[in-house]
């Protein structure tokens, strides 16, 4: 049974394209070095140049569209949500700059924060298990260019939008996916707008607000920082935050989504205001969050824990960039090709996260085997990491390809050649 059959990876491409796409996904199950940004060849040990040409033809095929490439990714999202034991599923959002300042062949780059920060801006939506915090699969990828926005759900280039307008479009589209469980859309301070939060209506959301943002509390307009002083947070237990453990304190109250500068014709809706504090063993503050949410049927501690889980989208970005696929070194010359390859890499990373979260004995044994193959040094406290699984899986796939391509007699003959070569050099 192949990796695709094992995870019931759906393929909606034409039959003449599906095998190439499956090969491309497997070729992205590897950790690239910064000086090897191209696609590594796997199938039948073809030369890297031939594999690169085949990849170029695939991405420039007019039948290969964003929605078609996204089919397996959304299929993994649906199956992952169905397998989740949590009542809700989190949809975490974040933006990531992809710097291509030194890539002069890319003519559709856009200026992001400053003159040297030039490239594309990626807005990603990642499904996260509400109980464990484990990433399930991406459910949306948008790429901002100088010409407009490319979206994984549409082949047409979309006009530029503000972050919030793009975010709300993504939320409304993902609500119509009709996944097996209700979504809670988790956003950082980007969504700190009372007016825009009211636009979401009955959609479940969770966001962090700035300490200086004002809300109506107990009949008066107060800042989030002042509101938090009226709350006495209780110790709820130990929580993992960015790889470190800390003590979680949580308290809550109710506020109205009404800013002091606004004049409303009717009463503003209310929402929960959750103050979350994380400290170390010595009482030093590690994090303090002022959270807003309209999810009413869970404990405030769960709300705080959900926001901690949002940070796992950073691990996904890291696997795409510095610790995995070296995204900022890719040589494709257009944002359209970059997004197509990004969708392909996202399917590969989704399968890696799925394997990483699998706690069955057989999976644990396989993960230990892959870490050995990877040659990576890992901490005793964390013997398995996603980059080590990526690196080890690539070696294993190459081993399988060798066994499928060569007979044992041919392998033993080459082994004799290698042995004689090393014997001469000693």
Mean pLDDT, residues 1-24 taken together: 55
Contact 211, 290 (CB under 8 A): yes
- Per-residue confidence (pLDDT) for residue 43, from 0 to 100: 55
User: Where residue 91 falls among pLDDT bands split at 50, 70, 90?
Assistant: very high
Tokens 């594309």: give the residue.
120
Asked if 145 contacts 335 with a C-beta cutoff of 8 angstroms, the reply is: yes
Task: Give CA–CA dist 251/234, Å, rounded.
Answer: 6
| Residues in Cβ contact with 172 at an 8 Å cutoff, skipping those fewer than 6 apart | 203
What's residue 12's pLDDT?
41
Residue 5 pLDDT exceeds 70: no
**pLDDT for 46 beyond 70:** no
Q: What is the pLDDT of residue 7?
A: 44
Contact present, 150 and 67 (Cβ < 8 Å):
no
SS3 190: helix
How many whole angstroms separate alpha carbon 255 and alpha carbon 362? 49
Q: Would 211 be classed as within a structural domain?
A: yes
Average pLDDT over residues 299-306: 93
In a domain, 268, yes or no: yes
Name the token pair of 196.
Answer: 């825009």
In Å, how far from its chain's centre is CA 4? 20
The residue-averaged pLDDT of 46-64 equals 77
Q: Judge whether 340 lies within some domain.
A: no
Calpha distance 367→361 (Å, rounded): 10
Asked whether 127 and 77 are in contact (CB, 8 A), the reply is yes
For 251-275, the pLDDT digits (tens) are 999 999 988 888 886 778 899 999 9
How many folded domains does the chain comprise?
Answer: 1
Residue 47 pLDDT > 50: yes
Q: Mind listing the pLDDT tens digit for each residue in 210-239? A: 999 999 999 899 999 999 999 999 999 888
| Nearest residue to 327 via CA among 121, 62, 69, 76 | 121
Tens of pLDDT, residue by residue over 378-419, are 888 889 999 999 889 888 988 888 888 889 999 999 999 988
Nearest-CA neighbor of 33 among 322, 365, 362? 322
Q: Assess if residue 187 is contained within a domain.
A: no
At 17, the pLDDT band (50, 70, 90 cuts) reads low
pLDDT of residue 10: 45
Overall average pLDDT of the 161-186 stretch:
92
Q: Is 136 exposed, middle or buried (0-12, 13-18, 19+ CB in 10 A)?
A: buried
Q: What Cα–Cα distance (Å) separates residue 418 from each residue in 373, 413, 414, 415?
A: 20, 9, 6, 5
Rounded CA gap, 201 and 221, in Å? Answer: 22
How is residue 13 annotated by DSSP? S
pLDDT the model gives residue 371: 93
- Torsion of the alpha carbons at 320, 323, 328 and 329, rounded to the nearest 10: -120
- Whether 226 contacts 347, CB under 8 Å: no
The string of pLDDT tens digits covering residues 25-45 is: 877 877 766 555 555 555 554
Q: Can you tell me whether residue 404 is helix, strand or coil?
A: helix
Instruction: Look at residue 118 and tell me if it is in a domain.
Output: no
d(CA 197, CA 387): 37
Cβ atoms of 371 and 383 within 8 Å: the answer is yes
Judged against a pLDDT cut of 70, whether residue 425 lies above it is answered with: no
Distances (CA, A) of 207 to 105, 145, 232: 39, 27, 21
Domain of 252, in residue numbers: 202-297
Q: Is residue 374 part of a domain?
A: no
Q: What is the rounded average pLDDT for all residues in the chain?
A: 86
354 occurs within a structural domain: no
| Alpha helices by DSSP H, 60-188 | 66-83, 163-175
Would residue 249 count as lying in a domain? yes
Beta partners for residue 89, in sequence order: 129, 183
Burial class, 9, CB count within 10 angstroms (exposed 0-12 / middle 13-18 / buried 19+): buried
CA pair distance 1, 4, nearest whole angstrom: 8
Task: Kindly report the pTM of this predicted structure.
Answer: 0.87
The predicted model gives 92-107 an average pLDDT of 92
Quick one: what percent of the chain has pLDDT higher than 70? 91
- Cα–Cα distances (Å) from 75 to 9, 26, 411, in that order, read 7, 17, 39
Using an 8 Å Cβ cutoff, are 84 and 136 in contact? yes
* Residue 153 CA: distances (Å) to CA of 92, 150, 301, 343, 391: 17, 9, 35, 11, 30
């Amino acid at each position: 049974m192949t990796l695709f059959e094992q995870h019931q990876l759906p393929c909606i491409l034409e039959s003449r394209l599906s095998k190439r796409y499956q090969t491309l996904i497997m070729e992205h199950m590897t950790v690239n070095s910064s000086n090897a940004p191209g696609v590594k060849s796997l199938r039948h040990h073809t030369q890297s140049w031939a594999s690169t040409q085949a990849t170029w033809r695939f991405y420039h095929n007019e039948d290969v569209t964003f929605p078609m490439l996204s089919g397996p990714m959304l299929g993994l999202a649906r199956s992952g949500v169905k397998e989740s034991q949590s009542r809700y599923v989190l949809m975490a959002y974040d933006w990531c700059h992809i710097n291509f300042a030194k890539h002069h062949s890319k003519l559709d780059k856009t200026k992001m924060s400053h003159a040297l920060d030039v490239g594309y801006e990626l807005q990603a939506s990642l499904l996260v298990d509400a109980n464990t915090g484990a990433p399930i699969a991406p459910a949306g990828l948008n790429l901002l260019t100088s010409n407009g926005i490319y979206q994984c759900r549409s082949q047409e280039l979309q006009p530029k939008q503000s972050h919030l307008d793009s975010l709300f479009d993504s939320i409304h589209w993902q609500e119509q996916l009709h996944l097996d469980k209700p979504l809670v859309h988790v956003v950082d301070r980007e969504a700190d707008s009372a007016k825009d939060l009211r636009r979401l209506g009955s959609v479940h959301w969770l966001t962090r607000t700035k300490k200086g943002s004002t809300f109506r509390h107990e009949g008066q307009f107060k800042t989030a920082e002042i509101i938090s002083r009226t709350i006495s947070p209780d110790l709820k237990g130990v929580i993992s935050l960015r790889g470190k453990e800390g003590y979680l304190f949580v308290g809550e109250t109710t506020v109205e989504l009404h800013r002091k500068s606004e004049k409303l014709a009717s009463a503003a809706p209310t929402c929960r205001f959750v103050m979350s504090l994380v400290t170390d063993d010595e009482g030093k503050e590690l994090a303090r969050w002022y959270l807003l949410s309209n999810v009413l049927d869970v404990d405030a501690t769960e709300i705080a824990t959900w926001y901690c889980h949002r940070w796992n989208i950073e691990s996904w970005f890291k696997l795409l960039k510095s610790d995995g696929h070296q995204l900022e070194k890719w040589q494709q010359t257009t944002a359209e090709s970059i997004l197509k390859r990004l969708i392909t890499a996202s399917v590969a990373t989704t399968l890696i996260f799925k394997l990483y979260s699998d706690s069955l004995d057989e999976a644990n044994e396989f993960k230990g085997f892959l870490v050995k193959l990877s040659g990576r040094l890992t901490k005793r406290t964390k013997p398995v990491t996603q980059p080590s699984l990526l690196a080890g899986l690539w070696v294993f796939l190459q081993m399988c390809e060798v066994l499928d391509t060569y007979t044992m007699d041919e392998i033993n003959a080459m082994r004799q050649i290698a042995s004689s070569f090393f014997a001469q050099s000693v």
